[in-house]
Amino acid sequence: MNGNIKNILNKKNKSKLVCLTAYSKNIASILDNHCDIILVGDSLGSVLYNYKSTKEVTLDTMINHSKSVRLGVKKSLMVVDMPFNTYRNPKEALKNAKLVIKKTKCDAVKLEGGKKIISIVKKLVKNKIPVMGHLGILPQTDKKFTFKGKKSLERNRILKEAKLLEAAGIFSIVLECIEIKLSKVITNKLTIPTIGIGSSANCDGQVLVIDDLIGLSESKFRFVKKYVNMSKIINIAVKKYKFEVLKKKFPNSKHSFKN
């Protein structure tokens, strides 16, 4: 077993897991000092490319960004999202997951879904490819983005699928926008860590999109907390740069070359 994955598993019931997304080396190298897990999320579709959904993200796009992120990750566990329509069956999933790991040297891949992907997860795990699961809101396929676990039938299904995924061999699972009590039940029932996004502090860890956290996006999701307003900071810096260029204060002799 991957040493980093063993460390993640060992933190269950002992220490909260810190997870954030990254799409480039520069950001990843900063996050690497603070995170247990760095996720190259297909959220880059909306964050970087303004796509309407993650369905438009390609395997090549994920691989290219992941290669950049890998350059900045030295300590954290690096996980890469498998994009939409790249794991429709076990054979396709294995081929593409192998390609992702070979090209990016990531530690694991993440797949969305429950009962439908059990055979796929088993195939990957059997071939020694570590898999992170994802239940609750599934951005790749869901049409309505409302929290999960309102009705008992849905609650029972999600809990059952979490157990099935664990039995299939996943090492952790992201719970997206799952009702507070249900996230607690799932976390207590599983022996693997749960990582929440909009699923309360009952999970074993938390994940956010880095651009949301630092205020570079216009995200209005309830579960997002903005820790700093980088948009404001960048605006101040650019305004100062503009002023100095117009006033011929930049570049000065310090920033120029002279024989």
The set of catalytic residues is 176
Residues with Cβ within 8 Å of residue 2, at least 6 apart in sequence: 77, 107, 108, 130
Q: Give the span between the Cα atoms of 180 and 177, in whole angstroms.
A: 9
Question: Residue with structure tokens 């999600």?
Answer: 158
Both tokens of residue 180?
């507070």
Tell me, what DSSP letter sits at residue 149?
-
Q: Give the span between the Cα atoms of 28 and 69, in whole angstroms.
A: 6
Both tokens of residue 151?
């009705």
CA distances from 255 to 237, 249, 250, 252, 258 (A): 17, 11, 8, 6, 10
Both tokens of residue 2?
């991957």
Both tokens of residue 28?
């990843």
Write the Ramachandran bin of 17: left for phi over 0, alpha for psi from -120 to 50, otherwise beta: beta
- The answer to whether 186 and 175 have CB atoms below 8 angstroms apart is yes
Amino acid at 181: K
Both tokens of residue 248?
């011929």
Phi and psi at residue 180, to the nearest 5°: -50, -55
